[in-house]
Structure 1
Amino acid sequence: MASDKQPTPVPGAPPNGAKVPARTWIAVAAGMLGAFMAVLDIQITNSSLKDILGTLAATQEEGSWISTAYLCAEIVVIPMTALFTRAFGARRYLIGTTALFLLFSTLCGAAWNLPSMIVFRMLQGFTGGALIPMAMTLVMTRLPASKRAVGFAIFGLTATLAPAMGPTLGGYLTDLYGWPSIFYINWVPGVLLIAGMVWGMDPEPTDIPSLVTADWLGISMMAIGLGSLTIFLEEGNSKDWFDSQFIITFAALALFGILAWVALSFSRQKSFVNLNLYGQRNFLVATALSAVIGMGLYGSSFLLPLYLGQIANYTPMQIGEVIAWMGFPQLFVMPIAAALSSKVDNRIMCTFGLLLFGGSCVMNAFMDASTGYDQLIVTQVIRAIGQPFVMLTLSNFAMQGVQPKDMSSASSLFNMTRNLGGSIGIALLATALTNREHFHSARLGESVSNYALPTQQRLDQLTQAFISNGIDPAGAADKALRVVDNLVRRESYVMAYNDGFLIVGLVLIGSIAAVWLADKVKSPGGASGAH
């Protein structure tokens, strides 16, 4: 059913159709810069992990906690953003949490061992996580309804570009300036953010007593539940899931914490975040799809660089050139999507975006070992065209009909769900990659055996070639066997990556059915209101 009423006025927001002063746009842009910086830092260490671990004398398995600690703290703080905003005011909270984020970023660059790095990354995530939902809240509370499509369009760019650019930018900076630079670079957007907030926003009244009376038991259960769930997802594949007592423990803690949080939220009059929002159909559909999009965004950003590095032997800079084709076109597509969102049923736009996004992943499911830059440009551009249509419309669905007092809660839950979807997606894909590689390796091994005539002929050719290069017959035969074995492993990995992209593509396309469970929504245009 379509909604024909005027958009709900938000306290402090200009009336619909009002002219937005430059300082307000500066504040909103600064908020977007903060969200981009926080999302970027989730995966910025991935390309640089080898260098970091070498300096900190840590193993690959131990190093996974560098990303897990950040993501865990970020997901925990996102639902608490509404509480801290009420207590300190948006301007003070944003300036304060950004200043702390820069401090902890600097300490990450100066970390002297793995435990110190993990602690500083956790604190960095806890201070940076608030920047993501706050950017969305600024759009709702600082812009008139007629300009929110533009604000959501910019916010969508932060959500889609940052996951792809993180590993690439990290590898690029590490190659040029060393791995600490991936943390020190945060000072550039961080200082701009603080300056934009100081100039663009007025101080708001504080409500420090609300921290004292807050539902700290519910907050504790939420922190235990979401934190444990993140650790369970991030570490599950490397520890063989439920074969590990460690993983079983965190799975139990996640279940206990989340159920206790939900029970406390519905049994108390005033919770720190309003879970009743999930009772609104449009919001429920938007957050469910947000989780799917998180899986698609982080999943494709996980698979493609890994494929290019392992199979095509690309450097981080070469990977960046491929990834850039998923980024730059969005800068041109997003204004078009914003203009259309006030004229076209957003369900149609979201369906179109999901078809392109999912379709591009399905196209990636037919790669071979020679697939590289030239073959991937088309799929990257298709993905770049689709993503803005999805991110913009989901923001519109999520905020449609949300009461002004619940704006911060809605923003927090919407963004928390996307991050959790990303964690679930990467966990599923990492496991699928391992299992499917083993499956394809076994199947190929059945065909490429010492008893198969083509295999024997190929081994003989390779052996003779190595002997002609001066290698003794026994060594040549052994070397030939290793070449064939490596070929089988390479092809099995290519097939596994193809399977991973197929999974992501089918999930994205399959989620189109959920879009049509939402009401018809259009962005408010001019003074016409919502539709």
Structure 2
Amino acid sequence: MFSITPIQRIWMMSIAAFGAIISSTFPLSIIFSQQDIAAAFSVTRDEISWMVTLYNLGQLFGLPITFLLSKIFGRRRTMLIAGIGFLISSLIISFSSIFSIVLFFRFWHGFYAGMLPVIMFIILFSTHPPGQIRTRGLSFFAFSTAIGLGMSAWLGSLFLVPDNWKFLFIIPAIFIGFYIILADFLFVEDSIDLNEVINFDWVGYTLVSLGLGFILIALSEGERYFWSETWWIPAFIIIGLTFSFLSFLHLLNTNNPLFKLSLFYKPFSWVLIYQIIFRFGTLFAIWLIPFFLTKVLDYRIEQLALVLWPLIPGTLIGVLIALCFSTYIDQRIMMSSALLIIACCSLYCVQADSTWSYENFTIVMFASGIGIGTYSLATLHMVLHGLIPIEGPTCGMGYNYARIMGLSGGLGILSHFINEREKFHSAILTPNIQNNESVTAEVINKIQATLSPSFNDLSVLSNISTFKVATVVREQSYILAINDGFLFCALLLIITAALVWFCPQCKSQS
């Protein structure tokens, strides 16, 4: 399995990493560009959100199929299937003028995109023997799957020309074309084994995918539909939990289950929980800070690129730190330290206000990148602790399931938390301003003094002034709510940094 030269190993991992970077970068660019896409189709914010939800749903369904296809057709053909599927769905979306068609193919876009990082995972374990070689491969995997966080806004702004969202699908389609060509020329043809179709746990796949899928939709769309106030949100959660329970019973009683449950008796299960919570640290950097800048300072994707780019060098340094010390230091120290770094960055942002700009977040983003890079590699070592070869697919699926559910669920929870805190702060601030007549009068007088050269009608001036005061209250409420979000993320990461020590001692193999 490992009888390849170092140059071949580097080439294989580089090609696989190229696909993983594409799949992790451009979806975030599309999230940052939702406003432009919604305007192009004349749809609402609630409708455009389904582009993200269906993409994540597609990833959930595509993950297990990657392992099946690699067993049936081999690595090369699986790469071609994923690449061609991603290419076709990207082009159909970019040239479609019907939003329902875009949504349909957005699911398949996510389906094939979800296969790309898993293919890298498969290639890593089939070409890198245990020891220092695999540790270097894991470092490359960690960096490749995390670097897209910093590149996303920059690439999005680069290809949103001029306000043409289609390029956000055309450009990755072109890039994935090179991926297909390189995979076709450089990978050896593996044998085909159609017996794997029969051996695959289709019942388990269906139950697990439906269970997680219903829950993911509820978490992603719950805040926009007021959770329990819309009947289908709690219904989806109940249905998802039911399918999840049925899948658990099935996995216990089948001879060839989709998941090897023996792995969940190891540190793997704890690390999955930490992996989900860690996504709040990721969301702090890639969503909460951009949300603050867009909501308070009206930043667009071009300006967000200036905020996010420090994540790239920070992530690289974090991965290198974890690589250098992985054989000497307990991974619990690495994981805990990384979480505390991100928590400190989040705590620092609690003081953010309307006077801040992207410069105030530069060091924060850089330090967060170090934490994200360090944790990404350290957690991989912990995930692999005590792993036996037969548990490899379970490890790959579980790790990526946690990534997707953590990001989707974390985003839903953070959105709900901030909206509720905004209502709370607005309810507190509005009566205080109304009761403090001197403050209100002072604000209104300043506004009227600014506007009076342009307006002579006092009633119009009064209405505009009152509206301006309400706008100031709303803006301040959002600032306080987002600051609460920073604090929430920090506390969650600090608690997780302590819980990490429930895992056993672990160092990478030298």
Q: Secondary structure at the match of 1:45?
A: helix
Report the equivalent of 2:224.
Answer: 238
Residue correspondence of structure 1 range 13-92 to structure 2 within 5 A: 13=2, 20-92=5-77
Name the CA distance, whole Å, in 1 between partners of 2:173 and 2:284.
28
Contact 2:26 2:155 in 1 (8 A): no
Q: Secondary structure at the match of 1:130?
A: helix
Once the two structures are TM-superposed, the CA of residue 414 in structure 1 deviates from its matched residue by: 0.8
| Change in CA separation of 1:219 and 1:143 when aligned onto 2, cut-off 3 Å | same
Report the equivalent of 1:390.
Answer: 375
Name the CA distance, whole Å, in 2 between partners of 1:249 and 1:372.
42
**Letter matched to residue 302 of structure 1:** W
Q: Secondary structure at the match of 2:101?
A: helix
CA shift digits 1:196-224 (9 cap, x unpaired): 43344322222222213422222221221
Q: Is residue 330 of structure 2 the alignment partner of residue 345 of structure 1?
A: yes
Contact 1:81 1:408 in 2 (8 A): no
| Change in CA separation of 1:27 and 1:161 when aligned onto 2, cut-off 3 Å | same
| Change in CA separation of 1:124 and 1:465 when aligned onto 2, cut-off 3 Å | closer
Residue correspondence of structure 1 range 318-467 to structure 2 within 5 A: 318-449=303-434, 451-467=436-452
Report the equivalent of 2:462.
Answer: 477
Report the equivalent of 2:195.
Answer: 209
Name the CA distance, whole Å, in 2 between partners of 1:485 and 1:168.
34
**Letter matched to residue 412 of structure 2:** A
Name the CA distance, whole Å, in 1 between partners of 2:437 and 2:50.
45
Name the CA distance, whole Å, in 1 between partners of 2:385 and 2:174.
35
Name the CA distance, whole Å, in 2 between partners of 1:172 and 1:502.
33
**Letter matched to residue 217 of structure 1:** V
CA shift digits 1:238-267 (9 cap, x unpaired): 000011112122112211111111111111
CA shift digits 1:309-361 (9 cap, x unpaired): 12122231111011101222322342232121122221111111111112111
Q: 2:168 aligns with which of 158, 162, 182?
A: 182
Higher helix share: 2
Name the CA distance, whole Å, in 1 between partners of 2:335 and 2:411.
23
Q: Is residue 139 of structure 2 the alignment partner of residue 139 of structure 1?
A: no
**Letter matched to residue 261 of structure 2:** L
Contact 1:150 1:335 in 2 (8 A): no
Name the CA distance, whole Å, in 2 between partners of 1:189 and 1:405.
34
Determine which structure has greater relative contact order: mean sequence separation of CA pairs < 8 Å that are 6+ residues apart, divided by chain length.
Answer: 1
Name the CA distance, whole Å, in 1 between partners of 2:361 and 2:254.
52
Q: Is residue 233 of structure 2 the alignment partner of residue 247 of structure 1?
A: yes
Q: Which moved more, 1:173-182 or 1:398-407?
A: 173-182
Q: Secondary structure at the match of 1:516?
A: helix
**Letter matched to residue 523 of structure 1:** S
Name the CA distance, whole Å, in 1 between partners of 2:168 and 2:371.
29
Name the CA distance, whole Å, in 1 between partners of 2:158 and 2:423.
32
Name the CA distance, whole Å, in 1 between partners of 2:106 and 2:294.
25
Residue correspondence of structure 1 range 106-117 to structure 2 within 5 A: 106-117=91-102
Once the two structures are TM-superposed, the CA of residue 270 in structure 1 deviates from its matched residue by: 0.2
**Letter matched to residue 380 of structure 1:** M
Once the two structures are TM-superposed, the CA of residue 443 in structure 1 deviates from its matched residue by: 0.9
Q: Output the TM-score relative to the length of structure 1.
A: 0.91
| Change in CA separation of 1:453 and 1:224 when aligned onto 2, cut-off 3 Å | same
Unpaired runs of at least 5, structure 2: none
Once the two structures are TM-superposed, the CA of residue 41 in structure 1 deviates from its matched residue by: 3.8
Once the two structures are TM-superposed, the CA of residue 180 in structure 1 deviates from its matched residue by: 0.7
Name the CA distance, whole Å, in 1 between partners of 2:449 and 2:163.
46
Alignment coverage as a number of residue pairs: 509
Once the two structures are TM-superposed, the CA of residue 268 in structure 1 deviates from its matched residue by: 0.3
Q: Is residue 261 of structure 2 the alignment partner of residue 272 of structure 1?
A: no
CA shift digits 1:256-297 (9 cap, x unpaired): 1111111111110101232331111x2122211111122321
Name the CA distance, whole Å, in 2 between partners of 1:453 and 1:430.
35
Once the two structures are TM-superposed, the CA of residue 177 in structure 1 deviates from its matched residue by: 6.6
Name the CA distance, whole Å, in 2 between partners of 1:41 and 1:222.
27
Name the CA distance, whole Å, in 2 between partners of 1:172 and 1:434.
31
Report the equivalent of 1:6.
Answer: none
Q: Which moved more, 1:435-444 or 1:296-305?
A: 296-305
Q: 1:149 aligns with which of 110, 135, 139?
A: 135
**Letter matched to residue 251 of structure 2:** S
After TM superposition, the runs of 4+ consecutive aligned structure 1 residues lying more than 4 A away are none
Q: Is residue 508 of structure 2 the alignment partner of residue 519 of structure 1?
A: no
CA shift digits 1:60-110 (9 cap, x unpaired): 211111111111110222133322322222221122111111111111111
Q: 2:272 aligns with which of 287, 305, 317?
A: 287
| Change in CA separation of 1:488 and 1:516 when aligned onto 2, cut-off 3 Å | same
Contact 1:295 1:423 in 2 (8 A): no
| Change in CA separation of 1:202 and 1:412 when aligned onto 2, cut-off 3 Å | same
Once the two structures are TM-superposed, the CA of residue 167 in structure 1 deviates from its matched residue by: 4.5
Q: Which moved more, 1:136-145 or 1:254-263?
A: 136-145
